[in-house]
Each structure stands twice: as structure tokens, then as C-alpha cells.
Structure 1
Amino acid sequence: MFEENRQLGADHSSERNKGRFTADYNKLNGVRTTKFDSIEEKIRHKDLSRLQLLDAQTKTILRKNLAVLSLPLITLNGSMRDINKSIGNALKQICGYNYKHATIDKYLRELKYLRISSNFIKATADFWITFWAELNNEHPTLLCYYLDGNTKPIWSSKSCKKSKVTMLGRVMNCLEQVFVHDSFGNPTYFQTYSGNADLGTKALSLMEDIEDYLKAISSDGKVNRVMIMDSAANGVSTLRSIANANYYFITLLNENQTNPRKFKHIQPLVRYEHGAADLGECAVELIDSKEPDYIFECRGIIINWDKGKQTVAVTNLPTQIIDGSGVIKSYFDRWPSQELQFRSMKSAVSIHRVMGYGKKKIPDENMREKQEQVRKGIDKICSELKDVLDEIGGFDQELVPFYKEERLLKETTIIKDGKREADADTLSALETCQKEINRIKRSISKLLKPHKAKFGKLQRLRKEWKLIHRKGSCICCGCRT
């Protein structure tokens, strides 16, 4: 037989040596049309008797289950893309065999065809929630679950779902991983989605799947479930989905969402109990871009940092459950909690320190030179547009009383099912006030139009100045080089 094969010659030797399918195979109609079908569609035509899982011994299945269960630890909760790294060798001590990525990946794919993977996710979450709960003696007011996502680009000419890959600055084929940690920074699970993993739909359904396990760690079976996300998940449609599912959320607004006209019922500032800032409670009205007529109202907390920066957090947690300081602390505990494992490892091996040297603060001449360039650029444009800026300043002064009147009128209205409700006189007065605001804004736009390029440059320089104006020195090791 071997002699006959040698006489036949090599069949696509360049491809066979790499262990790949040929281009002709991928062009087959039966392969091409079903390549990206859902699992539900593929199951109908799948020969389940060919699955390797069905021929495996019980001992082997248990070993692989244990390997999958340990993935949040072995992969640093998703920061590594596979288990073929050095830390993956720990599988030999955990489950008795040093499995590689391809083996576990194939095992999980076969579980999908057997429709077991969703139950496996629930069981994995149940295990980690119970495991970490036994080690934590604290009983926080909120059961916080920190959600974050990481987008992995896929360099392929084949058709795949596309989304924004921030680290590359482009929209392309990608997979998105969603990580979930509990209140103490312990990993619960992570899952990968094709394209964009919308937290309002996919990740929310996963949290609902493990709802029974979340309640199980509460002594009375009642729990305040809070999903804490970064500003990448602050879309109004996402927040609406979370609120409608009877979950609480905490997130931050982007800079372009912090328009003072959206705030009402602004309370006096109080000191932040856990940091250098003042907090102001308010109500925030957000417009859903997918439904422009829908108004989403939620609780807002304005954070005025002592360093001069302002941040706005939004939540649907009532003040009866937790005050403003507690909300802000819960959010900013997110990063140390999600990076708890890696932070502990850095501390153990001291890789975050410069060993053998002292540290000192020295002037950063490059940054100071850049600051001077930006400042001169701002001054130059402001001098060239002095007359126009003076006129705009006059219009801004005209807007102040209208903004105040608009806020007072909004505070007398209520938002019900996304619609503003009030008596006819109040709604009429609000509409008149907003027309005056729009009239003045049109006048400002008319002044800006002939100098659009210069104002655009001025805006970019001012934005850059906000980032660099406090930077003028750096920390350097005390070496002589």
C-alpha cells in the first residue's frame, strides 16, 4: 500500500504539509452554503455518531470537564487566547493531563452539537460562585458583577461578522469575549461571541441563566444584582434592556453625553467619602438614538474631581439602597477587581518595580515643549478670531437664563414610558423656551460657518490641552544613564 501511494505522487503537497483544506474543498456547494450556518441548522445534518466524544471513556470526559472548569484561571480569565502558554501546563496538576488548546476547543465544539454547552456554562458559573463565596466572609450591600469585553481581530478573507476593533482603529472581522467577575474580583466565566457582543441582549441573557445561582449565595434569597460596565456599554438601548430585565446598572457617560441640558433636580454638592472629589446627585434624561422620541430617565451622579476634571455616572439604583459615594466606589472598584489575579501575580514577582534603583521626579522637557506649542496654537487662533469669539460669548450669555428656565420646566414634568407628561401650559412654555435656545444656537452656527476649519483646529487643541496641561514631569529610576 505504501509503495502504491508513492507511485501516485503528491496531491497538493504544499497544502497537505500544512494540514489545511484545499481551496477546491471550500468551493464545494455543500461546504460554501453552510459554512456560517448556526449550530441549530447544522445539527439537522450532523452525523452525531462520528463525534469523538461519544467514544470517550467516562474518565476522559471528567478530565476534560475539569480542564474546562479551570479555564478562567489557566487563561487569566481570557487575557490569554489559548492554553498553550506556560501557565497552561498547570492542567497536568489540575486534571491529570496537560491538554492543549486544540483538544479542548474540539471538545467544546462537540458539546455544542450535543446541546450541552449552555448547561455547562451554568454549571461552571455555579461552581465558581459557590467556590469564591466560601472564601469571602464579607457581605456587601450589592452583589456586583463586573462586565467587560475584549475584541480579537480575525485576519481572514472569508466572510465573518464585523465590528469595531479599537486597538487597530478599524472595523473588521472579529470575535468579542465577555468577561464576568464577582464583587471580590474573582472570575466567574467568560464567553466568546462572533462580531459585537451587545451587552443589552447576549450578555444579559447569560446573567439571567445564572440568576438562580446568584440568589443562592444570599442568606434570604434576595439580592440586589448590579451590572457594572465601562463607558463602552452606555448606549441607551443597552441600559433600557438591563433596566427592563430588573437588573441594576452602573456606568459612566462619555464626554459628548454630558450636556448640562440633560440634567435636572441637581442637588447640593457633598464630599466623596472615598476620594478627592465632590458629588452632586441629579436626574439625567437620555435620548435613545434608535428611538429619538423615547426619553430614558435615570439617576445621575456628577463627580467634580479636585484636579479639575468632571465625570458623570448613571445608575438606576435608588438612593434607599445606596448613596452616591457607594455608587461611585462600586464603579471604581471595577478595575482592581477585574485585574485582581494579574495584580496579585505582579506583586508576587515584583515585575512592577525597578529593582536596585531609587526613583526621583525630573522635568519632562519634551512634554513641556509640547505644552508650549499647544498653548501658542490656542493663543494664535483666539487672537485671529477675537471679534467672532466676543460675539459668540455674547450669545452664550443670552443662553444662560433660557437654560435655567428649561431645567426648571423639565423638573415640573415626569417621564412615563419614554414620554414627557405635564399640563398643557408647561409643555407649551417648554417648547417656546427650546425654540429660543435653538434660535440662538443657529445664530452661533452662522458665525462659525466662515471659520469652520479654524474652529475645528481650536477645538482639537483645547481637547489636547486638557490631557497634557498637568503633565510636566516624569518618574525616573535613579541611574546615571
Structure 2
Amino acid sequence: MGEQAPETAKARELRAKVGDERWQRLVAEARRRADVVTKVIELRDNEGLAWVEAVRVTAPELHWSTFVHWRRRYWERSGPDWERLLDERVPPEPSKIPEDVRASVRALRVAKPSINAEQAEEALKKLFGADFSISAASLRRIWADAGLAYARPQGGAEPGETVEEYHGGGGLALVLAADIETGATEGLATAVQAAGKEVADAQTVVVKPAAETVEGGRDEAGRFPPLCNETWYGARGEDGLDERLAPDAIKRHGRELRTLPTLGMRASTLRYRLLAMGLMPLLTARRGFAGLEGPAGAWLELLGGHAYMPSTLSKGLAELGLLGVNDAIWDAHAKTWVNVVQRWTADGSRWLQVVAYIDASQDPYWTHRFASSCKVSRNGRVMPGLTEAAITAGPGVPLLAVTWAGTVSLKKELVNLITRLDEAVGDSEVGRLLVIDAELGTKNLLATLSFKLERPFITVLKGKTLEAAKFEPRSEWVEYRTRDTLRELDVYFEGSRDSDSDVPKEGLALRAVEMSRPGSRKPRSTVLVTNLAREELSTTEVADAYLSRWPHQEALFRNRRNGGGMNRSHGYGGEFIKYVALETKLERSRRRVDRAERALEQATQELTALEQTTAPPAEQGQPSPGNSTTKPAKTPAKKLVAAAKSQVRSKKQALDKAKRQLAQQETMPREIFARDPGRDNIMTCLKLNMLMLVEFVLKEYFGGPRMELRTFIELLVALPVTVRRTPTRIRYQIHPNPRRPDFNVRLRHACEVINQRRLRTDDRLLVYEVLEPPGKRQ
């Protein structure tokens, strides 16, 4: 069909001003308008409809004022129907670019073939003035007309783009997206600087260590001369410690805290450093930060910062310890992730939205010093170790954790930890129901939670706590799950007159749920105890809430040790403190020796008395003639003497054992080394922040697959990645895994999810994509 030639003068004038494609669009639109107007007029004339009703029937989406405008032009103008309704608006002619500007644009590309539009515009502003403006499309058009268009080589960079190839680290790029979306590490950095500045401002006096007051001080590179080191070694005491090994709480008095780089750096720089510290376990399994010396350490550049060396991160951790930001960094961590908890549990059970799990663990550390110890459950030994108590929210999100050296009173410390949790989460309902590990469920703690804190809880009774409980059945057995059964009990603990006990004199009455598995080879019951009424939490919900520890909290603990780096501690400082427990042990040993001596003396006296009263006459002691080969029968008196002699030997052995124990304890040091857990506490927070960022990647981007952290490291962190950076965009091109094509599909979907969220960092858009796998070799 040929072009529709215009008939009227206005139409011909319009045709001369527009191109062929635009004219065709104008004609098509004008004919559509003419059809609408003629149909409305026909309905008006033939059906008798009102104008508004006729418009509504013909073109429901057409506004009434628009139709009135079309109708007026249709009646008032001449010519064909469609020409009367032509859209006569013509876009203004683009302003012509002067030739001297065009020449300068061409010269810029000739001088630098890789220059892009943004860089060219900046150069032209310097040449023609700050008010000069030209669009990127005009620049590209000028270059294309002059045959200077840039053709990017295969795999090469675009104009103004920097390309970096990494042989691994693809998973770190995904974790970076999660961190930007949650703002988790940014919140930690902000809290660190705010708390650190408060500590620095409160510092009034700085007492320099003796080595730093040596004449000459540091050299130009900031290093101590040999004389300073000699002073350090000379200041060591009999315990082999000097001021460099003191706890951070003491060392901070000898440092000018206001001058620490941590307080002076930009918040974004501190954020990258903290994120690098937390991601360290994904890159190396070595102690401390030493493993970052390897090739994998270079992958930290993917985060947008530096590929930090181990010494830099160690120094940064030392500064955090000096500033004493332990509490601040944990409070910021809890405030960030409690919001995520509420989102992840919105569609779950009611109790899952309010539950928090409390557990404690003991981890060993190796030292040649006589150090504070605890019983490490994983090897069953009493040895130098660190005790950690952690609070984890419903879906397995760690909110707070505290580390102590050796053994502590968990009843007292848990109360403080719960109070801190309440302050951190604010009005959130997270933590309103506590699920406590059975090892912590003592009578005193249960009484404290019931009366002092008035906090609902669920725990399991075992050991001495179970033995001290009295039960009374309250319901029949009901089926639970596949093979288990449940029944309600009332549990009662007798009161205590001990001033240290929190159990009232009238006793402690609680509700219990007994779980049993009939028909098992070794039948045994598990008793769950709670202070919630049956109307608040049903029988099955009590069991569900406690057993949910395993898919939620215990999975977190498993990941912590299998790739999360929680089996390695940080920090080496500490101090020797008075070994208070030794005085108690010595007193007990002395009393034990006194009791053994009195017991031996009494047994000896009883033996002497027996021997005197049961001694036979002299003539009775001679053997009778003709019966010399027959052994005389042992009389009852002789049996008593033999028993008394055995008792004396037993008491003597007990005395010897008590004396050996006393002698051994008297040779023990009167001071014990207490490890400073401050730095380890900070690193625990950063590592758990990393674990939650990985969990965020799996839940939010991959759709929630169950994946161990070790699997994440091997499948994702090790993937090569190409990073392309421009002033407005950062593109992460993750190389696929040729051995898992099925997983590559899920990875592409995860990248699409991230791209839909339009994440930005430093005013640059983050773009994620998975490259096509290379072709097979022929």
C-alpha cells in the first residue's frame, strides 16, 4: 500500500517537516481518531445516546475533554476526515554543533581511542568553559560519522572501563551484595567509631610504657630502635610477661587513643576492613590472619577495598581491642539482624517469632602458662579454654555472644546477657521466649528466670537438677510425631535456706512435659520444663519449640566450626591474677589430711585394743602333739584382728594419698594466667556477621536451599570472577562451574534476583551475571 498523499495545505506543510516513519505513524493515529469521532456521531444520531455515553461505549479509555477537542477540529476544518485530526506538533530542530566543537571531539578520540563520553565531556568543559554541555549520544554520533567508533575487542574493556580478573572469589561478590542490602557491616563500623570516640574523649592521662620513653623514640619509619626492644625484654618479670602482653584494658592507658587510625578513617574504609576481617575464614583455615598472605588474599579486592595483608588486619583488631568496642559492636549486630529475624519468621509459627536459644560452649586454647581452665566438652578434658554464651534468634540468627576466660558463673552472666538483649532489640518480641540448653538449666537459673526476670523459658532437666525434682502426672500420654508420646507433669523443687540460692523457701513449682518413645531398645524419658501455662503454649508446642534448636541453633554451631573459623581464637594478651580457687583447694586438702590422720589414729587404737583383749594364753599357743601339720582354724577373735589390720592399712593409704595431693597443690603457683578475651569477642561478632551474610545470600537470592558453609566455600567462593568497573557501574561476571551445570542455573537466577534489587555502592550500580561456559575441546 502506497503512502497517503496529503490534500490540504497544512497537511502538506507537516509532511515536509517529518520523515517517512513519523508520517506513517501520524497518519495511522489520525485515522484512528477519525474512526472514533465518526462512530460516536453515529451512536448519537442513530441510538439517541448522549455524547458522554456514546464516548464511553466507543472508547472507554478516552478522556471527555480529549474527545471534545477532536470533535471541534472534525467540525471546523476542511479536507479528508483523517487530515482534520492530524497531530501537527513537530519537535524542534536540534541545535547544530559548531564545527570547532566537532573537531575537538574527533581530536580527543584520535589522541585517546579508549576515551568515553563522560571523560570527553569533562575535557570539553575545560576547553569551552564550565557551562558547556553536550550529550553522550551526540559525542558517539560524531565519532561514528568520523569512523572513530570504539569496537571493544573480545573480552576487552569498554572506553573508561577497568577490567580485573580473579581466579576465585565469586562467592565474596555475592556476600558483598548481601552486606550492602542489609547494611550490616556499615552499622558495625558506625558503632565502632562512635563508641571509640567516647572512650578516646574520656581519656585524660596517657602513661607511656618504659620502652617508649627511651631516648630517640621511634625512627622515621615509626619503628622502635634495638634499645627499645632491649628495654621491653629487660622489663619482663618472672612470669615472662612484659607490658606488650598486658590486656587491652591496661594497654589503652599507654596509648593516645585519639590518634588511632581507626577513629580517623572514613566509615566506608572501616566498613571494608571489618568485612575483610569477618570474611577471612572463607579464604584460609590458618590461625589468625596469616593465611591471607596466599593468593586467595587478593580476592578481598572484590569488596571494593584493599587486599589487606595480615599485619594490617592484626593491627586493626588491636586498635579495636584498645578502644574497648566489644559491647558496642555486638549491640549494633543485634539491632541489624533482629529486623531480618522478623522478616524470616513472618510466615512461621507464633513461638518461632519470639523464641531465642541460649547455649554455652567451651573451646580450648593451647598455652605453656598455668592458665584459667574449663572442662572442654569436645575432648572431655579440663584445660585452658574460653567459655562462650550465645543467644540465637528463632531462624538461627545469632544476636549476642560473650566470651570469658576459663569457667564463670553462667547464672549471673546469663542474666546480664538477657538484659543486654532486651536493650538491643528494643520493642521487638524476639527473645520473649527462651529455650535454654540442658547444661545451663539449674534450679537457681530457673528460679531467677521465673521470679526475678519473669521471662518465659523452656529447658530440659538432667543430672542433679532432674534428681532434685518431684513429679506428678497431670494428663494421659498423647501421640507426638511418628514414634514419640507426650504427657503433662507438674514438677516441684524444694526450697532452700542457702542465702546464695534463688529458689524461695516455699519451693519452685513449674510445668513439665515428658517425652518418651515406647518400644525402643533403651527406653528413657526426656523432661521438658517451662513456666508457661497450658493456655499460652500447648503440649506439642513446648516440644516443638525445644526440638527446633537442632535445625536452627545447632546448625549454626556446626557451620561455625566447619568453615566459620570459630575453632580458632584471636588475641594473646592477658594477666596473672590471684588463684582464688587454689586457697579453697588447699584448705580442703588440709582438712582431708586432718581427717585421714584422725581416722588412722582411731583405727590404730582399735587394733591395739583388739590385740590386747584377744591375745591367747601362752600354753594355748603351742601346737598339740601329733597334729603339727594341721593349720589351726581362725577363731572369731582372730578375724576381728585381721579386719582391724586391714582397716589400718586402708586408712594409712588414704592418708598417704591426701598428703600427696596436698604436697602437689602446695607447689602450684599462687597466680593463674587469665586470657584477655576482648579481641576474640570482637572477631566472634565479625565471623558471625559473615555467617549471617552467607545465610542471607542463600535465603534471599538462592531461594533458601539447605547448604553447609563448607559447601558454600567450595562451590561459590572458589569460582573465578571478572570485575568490570566504570564511574557508574560495577559488573561482576562470575565464571560458571563446568562440573555442576545444574548449580549454574541456580546461580544465574540468584544474579537476576540481585539485579532486580538495584543495589548501589559508592554511587555505582552493582550488576551480576554468570558467563557462558567455554566450549568443549575438540
What TM-score bracket applies, with the shorter chain setting the length?
0.5 to 0.7
Q: 2:437 aligns with which of 227, 230, 244?
A: 230
Q: 1:111 aligns with which of 314, 317, 320?
A: 320
Corresponding residue number in structure 1 for 2:340: 131
Q: 1:321 to 1:293 in 2, by over 3 A?
A: closer
Paired AA for residue 433 in structure 2: V
Corresponding residue number in structure 1 for 2:615: none
CA distance in 1: counterparts of 2:399 and 2:310, whole angstroms: 20
CA distance in 2: counterparts of 1:97 and 1:134, whole angstroms: 33
Corresponding residue number in structure 2 for 1:325: 540
Q: 1:302 to 1:168 in 2, by over 3 A?
A: same
CA distance in 2: counterparts of 1:332 and 1:89, whole angstroms: 42
Task: State whether residues 479 and 486 of structure 2, in contact with CA within 8 Å, keep that contact through their aligned partners in structure 1.
Answer: yes
Q: 2:361 aligns with which of 150, 154, 159?
A: 150
Deviations 1:360-401 (A, max 9, x none): xxxxxxxxxxxxxxxxxxxxxxxxxxxxxxxxxxxxxxxxxx
Task: State whether residues 75 and 81 of structure 1, in contact with CA within 8 Å, keep that contact through their aligned partners in structure 2.
Answer: no
Structure 2: runs of 5 or more not aligned:
1-225, 561-778
Task: State whether residues 289 and 313 of structure 2, in contact with CA within 8 Å, keep that contact through their aligned partners in structure 1.
Answer: no
Matched, 1:205 2:412: no
Task: State whether residues 233 and 242 of structure 2, in contact with CA within 8 Å, keep that contact through their aligned partners in structure 1.
Answer: no
Q: 1:113 to 1:74 in 2, by over 3 A?
A: closer
Equivalent position SS for 2:336:
helix
Deviations 1:183-236 (A, max 9, x none): 112333444222235442324323322324545445xxxx67122122211122
CA distance in 2: counterparts of 1:160 and 1:136, whole angstroms: 43
CA distance in 2: counterparts of 1:309 and 1:334, whole angstroms: 20
Paired AA for residue 196 in structure 1: T
Listed as ranges, the matches of 1:278-293 within 5 Å are 278-286=485-493, 291=501
Deviations 1:95-150 (A, max 9, x none): 64455777556544433433433122111111111124334432532311112233
Listed as ranges, the matches of 1:382-421 within 5 Å are none
Matched, 1:242 2:449: yes
Q: Structure 1 stretch 28-37 or stretch 58-67: which is displaced more?
A: 28-37
Equivalent position SS for 1:298:
strand
Q: 1:274 to 1:204 in 2, by over 3 A?
A: farther
Q: Structure 1 stretch 162-171 or stretch 331-340: which is displaced more?
A: 162-171
Equivalent position SS for 1:318:
coil
Listed as ranges, the matches of 1:67-82 within 5 Å are 67=276, 71=278
Q: Would you tell me which structure has more strand in proportion to its own residues?
A: 1
Matched, 1:48 2:257: yes
Paired AA for residue 266 in structure 1: P
Q: 2:475 aligns with which of 247, 268, 276?
A: 268
Paired AA for residue 404 in structure 2: Y
CA distance in 2: counterparts of 1:99 and 1:203, whole angstroms: 37
CA distance in 2: counterparts of 1:240 and 1:105, whole angstroms: 43
CA distance in 1: counterparts of 2:300 and 2:477, whole angstroms: 51
Q: 2:527 aligns with which of 312, 315, 332?
A: 312
CA distance in 2: counterparts of 1:150 and 1:101, whole angstroms: 28
Shift of 1:249: 1.9
Shift of 1:154: 2.3
Corresponding residue number in structure 2 for 1:447: none
Shift of 1:324: 1.9
Corresponding residue number in structure 2 for 1:303: 515
Task: State whether residues 274 and 325 of structure 1, in contact with CA within 8 Å, keep that contact through their aligned partners in structure 2.
Answer: no
CA distance in 2: counterparts of 1:98 and 1:246, whole angstroms: 49
CA distance in 1: counterparts of 2:297 and 2:535, whole angstroms: 46
Q: 1:215 to 1:299 in 2, by over 3 A?
A: farther
Q: 1:54 to 1:281 in 2, by over 3 A?
A: same
Bigger Rg, structure 1 or 2:
2
Q: 1:120 aligns with which of 317, 329, 332?
A: 329
Corresponding residue number in structure 2 for 1:472: none
Listed as ranges, the matches of 1:301-450 within 5 Å are 301-306=513-518, 307=520, 308-340=523-555
CA distance in 2: counterparts of 1:247 and 1:101, whole angstroms: 44
Paired AA for residue 329 in structure 2: F
Shift of 1:326: 0.7
Task: State whether residues 299 and 314 of structure 1, in contact with CA within 8 Å, keep that contact through their aligned partners in structure 2.
Answer: yes
Deviations 1:8-36 (A, max 9, x none): xxx89xxx9xxxx9875542899669966
CA distance in 1: counterparts of 2:372 and 2:558, whole angstroms: 33
Shift of 1:330: 0.7
Equivalent position SS for 2:473:
coil
Deviations 1:139-174 (A, max 9, x none): 532311112233121222334322212223232221
Shift of 1:314: 1.4
Q: 1:123 to 1:95 in 2, by over 3 A?
A: farther
Task: State whether residues 225 and 248 of structure 1, in contact with CA within 8 Å, keep that contact through their aligned partners in structure 2.
Answer: yes
Q: 1:33 to 1:62 in 2, by over 3 A?
A: closer
Give TM-score scaled by structure 1 length. 0.55
Equivalent position SS for 1:137:
coil
CA distance in 2: counterparts of 1:128 and 1:52, whole angstroms: 28
Q: 1:233 to 1:263 in 2, by over 3 A?
A: same
Deviations 1:396-455 (A, max 9, x none): xxxxxxxxxxxxxxxxxxxxxxxxxxxxxxxxxxxxxxxxxxxxxxxxxxxxxxxxxxxx
Shift of 1:58: 3.8
- Report which structure shows greater RCO (CA 8 Å, sep ≥6): 2
Task: State whether residues 126 and 210 of structure 1, in contact with CA within 8 Å, keep that contact through their aligned partners in structure 2.
Answer: no
Listed as ranges, the matches of 1:60-99 within 5 Å are 60-67=269-276, 71=278, 93-94=302-303, 96-97=305-306
Deviations 1:338-377 (A, max 9, x none): 24468899xxxxxxxxxxxxxxxxxxxxxxxxxxxxxxxx
Structure 1: runs of 5 or more not aligned:
1-10, 346-481
Q: 1:257 to 1:147 in 2, by over 3 A?
A: closer
Paired AA for residue 195 in structure 1: G
CA distance in 1: counterparts of 2:470 and 2:551, whole angstroms: 30
Task: State whether residues 197 and 203 of structure 1, in contact with CA within 8 Å, keep that contact through their aligned partners in structure 2.
Answer: no
CA distance in 1: counterparts of 2:362 and 2:236, whole angstroms: 27
Q: 1:192 to 1:318 in 2, by over 3 A?
A: same
CA distance in 2: counterparts of 1:216 and 1:127, whole angstroms: 14
Q: 1:248 to 1:92 in 2, by over 3 A?
A: farther
CA distance in 1: counterparts of 2:550 and 2:413, whole angstroms: 22
RMSD value, Cα? 4.4
Corresponding residue number in structure 1 for 2:388: 177
Give percent identity, aligned residues only: 21
